[in-house]
Amino acid sequence: MARMELKDLVKRYGAVEVLRDINLDIADGEFIVLVGPSGCGKSTLLRMIAGLEPITEGDFLIDGARMNDVSPRDRDIAMVFQSYALYPHMDVARNMGFSMEIRRDPVDEKKTRVAQAAETLGLTALTDRLPKALSGGQRQRVAMGRAIIRDPRAFLFDEPLSNLDAALRVEMRLEIARLHQRLGATMIYVTHDQVEALTLADRIVVLNGGDIQQVGSPLDLYERPANKFVAQFIGSPTMNVIPVTGGVEGVTLANGQWLGLPMRENTPFATELGIRPEHLDVVDPGPNVLTATADVVEHLGSDTNIYVNVDKVGPMMVRKHGNIPIATGDKLGLRVMTENAHLFAKGGAALPAPVRQAA
């Protein structure tokens, strides 16, 4: 049980304000992912929740109880550090059982729990090794084991997978998803990785420069970003954003071409158009389409990434399923799938599209 409420949280280091007006309600058992560029305050927020960093202003509540002045040990939260922070002088078993050792839990129970956790994480053969004799992935597992051993009411992860290679990341990501399903505990997870964020999260919190930009489900953020920052931060490859001039039910592109956006009322305020690489169609050059030259073509097998230069508009990126027979230097036409176009006003706020009827 851990419902968390963050109310008007502020963090300052001296005069420097690192986080401001953080408001967030986290439901019991929810998986929240914090994303944002480096230095935006993700770790700081997580550490404030953990109790490792004092809260300058505002209130933090767990299950209705104010936690601001409660020490980390009494918050009953477990944390997995990016650096793993294993105790180098203790073997794997003792590392995992340390929290129970400190709490003076019965030795038998500790042993069973450690054995169980080791079993779950595939560490049984390694329990008497010191951390220095483990690989990166094994260390990561020990750090996870240490967190799950005592059934805390919430878990915090600070980029737990960023030191692993790609294959291990995928594996551990699944492991964490399973863990969340099995334990049903509240989890807050900081990451840089799009895929981790989109696959793990119930809700994603996008931070930038100490402000929450948007909170929503992965699909929400992908389909209805609140502003240009979120639009470009979520989704990979990054959304193309090009300058436009607003008109009635449509916009004019930099090359003078008119792009009709029927049914949209706020088009006059648009200054920029955003279109995801997967929402551009490659067609034959002709009237009413964008004329572009292929700059670099990446054939990934399942997808083709085409970096193009659009005449009088600038560079854009197109992503298509399958293997598209295009070579560098080819002339091609691009058609914008207007139902997936995003519009941004001056300052970056999104101009929302009318909610589409479910088919």
Partner 1 sequence: MSVTRTNPALTLGKYVALLAYLLFALFPLYWLVKIAITPDRLIFTEGTDLWPSTTTLDNFRTVIFQTDFMAFFGNSLYVSLGTAAVTTILAAGAGYAFSRFDFGGKKIIVAVMLITQMFPLLMIIAPIYKIVASLGMLNSLTSLIVVYTAFNIPFATFLMQSFFDAIPKDLEEAAMMDGCTRFQALRKVILPLTLPGLGATLGFVFTAAWSELLFALMLISDNESMTFPVGLLTFVSRFSVDWGQMMAAGSLALIPSCLFFIFIQRYLVQGLTSGAVKG
Please state the length of the chain: 359
Q: Which stretch binds partner 1 (CB under 8 A): 28-36, 70-78, 113-121, 248-256?
A: 70-78
Question: Which DSSP category does 133 fall into?
Answer: G
CB 150 within 8 A of CB 101: no
Residue 209 neighbours by CB distance under 10 Å:
15
CB 80 within 8 A of CB 144: yes
For position 81 contacting partner 1 by CB under 8 A, the verdict is yes
For position 167 contacting ligand ATP by CB under 6 A, the verdict is no
Q: What minimum distance in Å lies between the beta carbon of 270 and ligand ATP?
A: 31
Judged by CB under 8 A, the chain residues 92 through 121 that form the site for partner 1 are 98-99, 102-103
Q: Which residue, 160 or 274, has its beta carbon nearer to partner 1?
A: 160
- Beta bridge partners, 123, equal none
Q: What minimum distance in Å lies between the beta carbon of 158 and ligand ATP?
A: 7
Separation CA 50–CA 158 (nearest Å): 11
Partner in contact with 131, chosen from Mg ion, ligand ATP, partner 1, none, beta carbon below 5 to 8 Å by kind: partner 1
For position 260 contacting ligand ATP by CB under 6 A, the verdict is no
**Strand, helix or coil for residue 79:** strand
Of 116, 120, 69, 77, which Cα lies nearest the Cα of 97?
116
Separation CA 98–CA 104 (nearest Å): 10
Partner in contact with 39, chosen from Mg ion, ligand ATP, partner 1, none, beta carbon below 5 to 8 Å by kind: ligand ATP
Tracing tokens 């595939």 back to the chain, one arrives at 122
Q: What minimum distance in Å lies between the beta carbon of 191 and Mg ion?
A: 10
Q: Which stretch binds partner 1 (CB under 8 A): 23-31, 80-88, 112-120, 331-339?
A: 80-88
Number of residues forming the site for Mg ion (CB under 5 A): 1
Separation CA 353–CA 223 (nearest Å): 10
Separation CA 203–CA 189 (nearest Å): 11
Binding mask 8-47 for ligand ATP (x = CB under 6 A): -----x--x-x-----------------x-xxxxxxx---
Of 224, 260, 234, 254, which Cα lies nearest the Cα of 242?
254
Footprint of ligand ATP on this chain (CB under 6 A)? Answer: 13, 16, 18, 36, 38-44
Footprint of partner 1 on this chain (CB under 8 A)? Answer: 50-52, 71-73, 77-79, 81, 83-89, 98-99, 102-103, 130-134, 136, 139, 146, 163
